Amino acid sequence: MTLSWLRVLVAALGLASCAASQANRVPGEYIVTLAPHAGTAAISHLYGRFAIRSIQALGNNVYLVELSQDPGPAVMERLGREKADIEAVQPNYGYRTQRR
């Protein structure tokens, strides 16, 4: 296998992995990590336009945020990068156990 075919294969596997992880995403749910000095008001202020249903503390400044109007991961992450109060934003991924 030539190097160019290997690069194509690696790129294809990366896209497939990304698509699979997006399929496991729980629509409208995000894990938001706040800076130590920030409070939940930072979440409400930044993401309130998307009709927040709930903000649940998970511990260590990490919150599960449920939205009625999901703008998608790219928008949520971009908005989070623009504010110092938000350290990280990621979709909430659902996992299922496999039966044997």
User: What share of the chain in percent tops pLDDT 90?
Assistant: 69
Better pLDDT: 8 or 78:
78
Assigned superfamily of 26-93: RRM (RNA recognition motif) domain (3.30.70.330)
Rounded (to 5) percent helix, strand, coil in the chain: 40, 30, 25
More confident residue, 15 or 93: 93
**pTM exceeds 0.85, yes or no:** no
Phi/psi of residue 24, nearest 5 degrees: -85, -5
> What is the pLDDT confidence band of residue 94, given thresholds at 50, 70 and 90?
confident
